[in-house]
């Protein structure tokens, strides 16, 4: 696996770490459980990181030196792809001939390197976009920076080079075909999953314990946002929505809480305190709490402590936070974009657009209806049970096997053709 710009060892919610990191970790672990050895290649960002780190038995993370460890943004990484590829080739050269059966690259930067590696090692290239420039640019948040043309060109090249393209949802598959001209026969849909052991519902006692652990009042109405703080994820919509709720019903102020769990990322790094400033300017500084990114156990407690989890993103290829919240039994209010309708299912509410008034109404009506929230919570758990990571990995293994078989058949055809043997006689 190739994940150039973000390490699977990084804490989701910090820097560029998010759903992609979770995807790589969870699929790699389960592939190893099935006897598939996995090497993950990622860029080294600290001298303290070892060149090789075992994630779990059977999964090794290789930290490749490509540019300075600190101070490089994701937009600077195209200039380091040659150095990264060279480091990856050195690792490959230390392995026996034919050691790697295939390359699975994640995000377009990784696809560029994966393309070279797959070509060098004469193996299939499987690629997962995770996000796409043309989709993001079509749904850009106000004031956000468009993705550059160079990324669009790079994505087109990877789409053309890949043996198979893995889309998170049927909608993303259509976008690959319609926006990037992907060959429909190369596109496969594999819905991401959720760790059903880690994310599971709780009872009333568990909810009280979770609230006490995080210092949340027993009678508080809690809206939870989890993710990187940047315009794409639209946490500002929630700050404006709670301001609308308080303005319409001032008595809410003493109980209403918006909890934002995450750190600035991407274009949000330009104004890291913009959300705090917005809360102050709108007069709801006392209603909004900011919490740094947390580990999985603390995140589960936050899901249990919340009444509603809100996912107002302008673009999401799937929405792992939504499915994790659902598995935890917490209803979701999400934007009706990308893969979020698939992730939410009938376990929550979808909001068209990003008008704070619409979000205030959706959140307020759910916060004020205990029976409706409980019903959505039960539906959410049932919906999430269909999306365990084991299901995703079983599907990936089928795609890997077919790609390797097709690749081997192509090699046989090519060798016979070179020898003057008609390929039609190959069984």
What is d(CA 333, CA 325) in angstroms, rounded to the nearest whole number? 11
Is 11 annotated in some ligand binding site?
Answer: yes
What is d(CA 75, CA 382) in angstroms, rounded to the nearest whole number? 40
- Quick one: how far is CA 27 from the chain centroid? 13
Q: Look-up: residue for tokens 């519902």?
A: 201
What is d(CA 238, CA 312) in angstroms, rounded to the nearest whole number? 8
Rg over alpha carbons for the chain, rounded to the nearest Å, is: 23
What sign does the CA torsion over 104, 108, 113, 117 have? positive
Whole-number Cα distances in Å, 125 to 94, 133, 152, 190, 400: 20, 21, 19, 16, 9
Is 136 annotated in some ligand binding site?
Answer: no
Is 285 annotated in some ligand binding site?
Answer: no
Q: Are 386 and 371 in contact (CB under 8 A)?
A: no
- Quick one: how far is CA 68 from the chain centroid? 26
Is 168 annotated in some ligand binding site?
Answer: no
What sign does the CA torsion over 127, 345, 370, 312 have? positive
Is 69 annotated in some ligand binding site?
Answer: no
Is 294 annotated in some ligand binding site?
Answer: yes
Is 107 annotated in some ligand binding site?
Answer: yes
Is 12 annotated in some ligand binding site?
Answer: yes
Is 131 annotated in some ligand binding site?
Answer: yes
Residue ranges in 76-144 assigned as alpha helix (H): 81-93, 108-121, 133-138
What sign does the CA torsion over 219, 223, 228, 230 have? negative
What is d(CA 397, CA 395) in angstroms, rounded to the nearest whole number? 5
Is 47 annotated in some ligand binding site?
Answer: no
Is 20 annotated in some ligand binding site?
Answer: yes
Is 104 annotated in some ligand binding site?
Answer: no
**Helix, strand, coil content of the chain in percent (nearest 5):** 50, 15, 35
Is 181 annotated in some ligand binding site?
Answer: no
Q: Are 32 and 8 in contact (CB under 8 A)?
A: no
Count other Cβ atoms within 10 Å, centred on residue 369.
Answer: 12
Q: Look-up: residue for tokens 């959706």?
A: 362
Is 342 annotated in some ligand binding site?
Answer: no
Q: Are 42 and 8 in contact (CB under 8 A)?
A: yes
Beta strands at 125-128 and 308-311: parallel, antiparallel or unpaired: unpaired
Is 157 annotated in some ligand binding site?
Answer: no
What is d(CA 62, CA 1) in angstroms, rounded to the nearest whole number? 10
Residues of the binding site for 1D-myo-inositol 3-phosphate: 5, 16-21, 74, 107, 131, 151
Residue stretches of the annotated binding site for Mg(2+): 303-304, 306, 330
User: Binding site membership for UDP-N-acetyl-alpha-D-glucosamine: which residues?
Assistant: 11-12, 19, 228, 233, 294, 316, 324
- Binding-site positions read 5, 11-12, 16-21, 74, 107, 131, 151, 228, 233, 294, 303-304, 306, 316, 324, 330
């Amino acid at each position: 696996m190739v994940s150039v710009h973000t390490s699977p060892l990084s804490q989701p919610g910090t820097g560029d770490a998010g759903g992609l990191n979770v995807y790589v970790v969870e699929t790699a672990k389960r592939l190893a459980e099935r006897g598939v050895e996995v090497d993950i290649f990622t860029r080294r960002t600290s001298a303290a990181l070892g060149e090789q780190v075992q994630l779990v038995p059977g999964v090794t993370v290789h930290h490749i030196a490509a540019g300075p460890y600190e101070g490089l943004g994701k937009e600077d990484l195209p200039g380091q792809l040659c150095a990264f590829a060279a480091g990856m080739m050195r690792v490959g050269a230390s392995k026996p001939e034919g050691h790697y059966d295939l390359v699975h690259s994640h995000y377009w930067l990784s696809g560029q390197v994966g393309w070279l590696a797959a070509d060098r090692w004469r193996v299939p290239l499987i690629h997962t976009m995770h996000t796409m420039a043309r989709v993001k640019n079509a749904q850009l948040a106000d004031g956000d920076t468009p993705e550059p043309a160079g990324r669009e060109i790079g994505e087109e090249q990877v789409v053309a080079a890949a043996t198979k393209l893995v889309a998170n949802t049927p909608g993303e598959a259509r976008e690959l075909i319609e926006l990037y001209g992907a060959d429909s026969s190369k596109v496969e849909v594999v819905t991401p999953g959720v760790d059903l052991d880690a994310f599971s519902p709780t009872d009333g006692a568990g909810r009280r314990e979770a609230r006490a652990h995080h210092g949340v009042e027993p009678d508080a109405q809690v809206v939870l946002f989890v993710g990187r703080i940047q315009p794409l994820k639209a946490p500002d919509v929630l700050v404006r929505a709670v301001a609308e709720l308080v303005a319409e019903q001032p008595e809410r102020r003493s109980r209403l809480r918006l909890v934002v769990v995450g750190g600035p990322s991407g274009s949000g790094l330009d104004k890291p305190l913009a959300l705090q400033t917005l809360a102050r300017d709108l007069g709801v500084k006392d209603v909004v709490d900011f919490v740094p990114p947390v580990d999985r156990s603390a995140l589960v407690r936050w899901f249990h402590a919340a009444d509603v989890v809100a996912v107002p993103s302008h673009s999401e290829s799937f929405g792992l936070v939504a499915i994790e919240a659902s598995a935890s039994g917490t209803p979701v209010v999400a934007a009706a974009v990308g893969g979020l309708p698939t992730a939410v299912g009938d376990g929550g509410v979808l909001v068209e657009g990003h008008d704070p008034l619409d979000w205030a109404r959706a959140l307020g009506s759910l916060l004020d209806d205990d029976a409706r929230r409980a019903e959505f919570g039960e539906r959410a758990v049932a919906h999430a049970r269909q999306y365990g990571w084991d299901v995703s990995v079983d599907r990936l293994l089928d795609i890997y096997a077919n790609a390797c078989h097709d690749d081997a058949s192509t090699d046989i055809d090519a060798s016979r053709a070179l020898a003057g043997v008609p390929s039609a006689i190959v069984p």
